[in-house]
Amino acid sequence: MSNFSRMPRYDVRNDGTGPYGIFYCDKCSREFRSQPDVANTIAKDIGRQAMGGFLRNIPIVGGAVADNVTGQDPRYIRTLTPQQLTKAWNEVQKNFRECPTCKKIVCLSDFDEPSGFCSDDSPRRGQIAQAQGEQAGAMLKGLAGVFGVSDALQHVSDSAKRAASSAARCPKDGTLAAPGTKFCPNCGTAMIQPAADACPNCGAETHGAKFCPNCGTPMQRAAAASTVCPNCGTDGKGAKFCPNCGTKLA
């Protein structure tokens, strides 16, 4: 169990069975509750009723004195003594960890146990973000399958890819624009125009489709020439000469 330099944010509540503490994660505000001392509350309540009734039956004492003697009703107390607060914190602190970097006290969901830091300060935060993204993607894919929209999502994805391939692209910041746009509207760099993809039958622009949208002719596309350097094996990524050794690429 970690040693804590302080308690996290907390609140004291009472639902009629005695006061208890609620402690909050400094990052996501998830709450963890201690247990009220129900047995002590019941015992005090019974004692109060017995003593109060006894004292009220003595004329010289009266109701006001009886209330002072028996004390405050624990069912309505909304404060904890320092000892009770410490006891409440000891009950729930197993659900928390303190980050040595930012000093936040966070719940286990926001703490990376292998590294010993919160998820924001963990040296593995890139891996954590990737794992969370993969989990979210898998969940969305599962939901899409349940509701029967997988094909629709795939169609949207394919349409987006076709639209990107048919747009002018900025080589500096990746901005996409309508074909024919000469300069990037974001940074002013000369735009790379999309390669022409005309139908061999009617000449209509197909924008990467498998069949011509005008006449339905199947598009026969030659496989892209390899840009892997035959000398050193470096991927030239479309360059005419190897960026590593300068060998001319086919």
Rounded to two decimals, what is the model's pTM?
0.46
Residue holding tokens 């901005």?
Answer: 175
Would you state the pLDDT for residue 13? 92
Assign 52 a pLDDT band (cuts: 50, 70, 90).
very low
**What's residue 54's pLDDT?**
45
**pLDDT > 70? residue 176:** yes
pLDDT confidence bin for 55, thresholds 50/70/90: very low
Task: Report the 3 state secondary structure along the chain.
Answer: CCCCCCCCCEEEEECCCCEEEEEECCCCCCEEECCCCHHHHHHHHHHHHHHHHHHHCCCCCHHHHHHHHHCCCHHHCCCCCHHHHHHHHHHHHHHEEECCCCCCEEEHHHEECCCCEECCCCCCHHHHHHHHHHHHHHHHHHHHHHCCCHHHHHHHHHHHHHHHHCCEECCCCCCEECCCCCECCCCCCECECCCCCECCCCCCECCCCCECCCCCCECCCCCCCCCECCCCCCECCCCCECCCCCCECC
What tokens were used for 219?
Answer: 């598009």
Q: What is the pLDDT of residues 86-116, one digit of tens each?
A: 999 999 999 999 999 999 999 999 999 999 9
Mean pLDDT, range 16-40, rounded to an integer: 89
If one compares 36 and 228, the residue with the highest pLDDT of the two is 36
Tell me which of 107 and 197 has the higher pLDDT: 107
In this model, does residue 168 exceed pLDDT 60?
A: yes
pLDDT tops 70 at residue 65:
no
- Which among 71, 8, 83 is positioned nearest to 45, based on CA atoms? 71
| Domain layout of the chain by residue ranges | 10-128, 166-212, 220-250
What pLDDT was estimated at residue 1?
Answer: 45
Summarize pLDDT for 2-27 with one digit per residue, the tens: 689 999 999 999 988 889 999 999 99
Q: Give the tens place of pLDDT for each residue, 119-159.
A: 889 888 777 777 777 777 777 777 666 666 666 666 666 66
pLDDT at 70: 45
Q: Which amino acid is at 77?
A: I
Residue 236: the pLDDT is 73
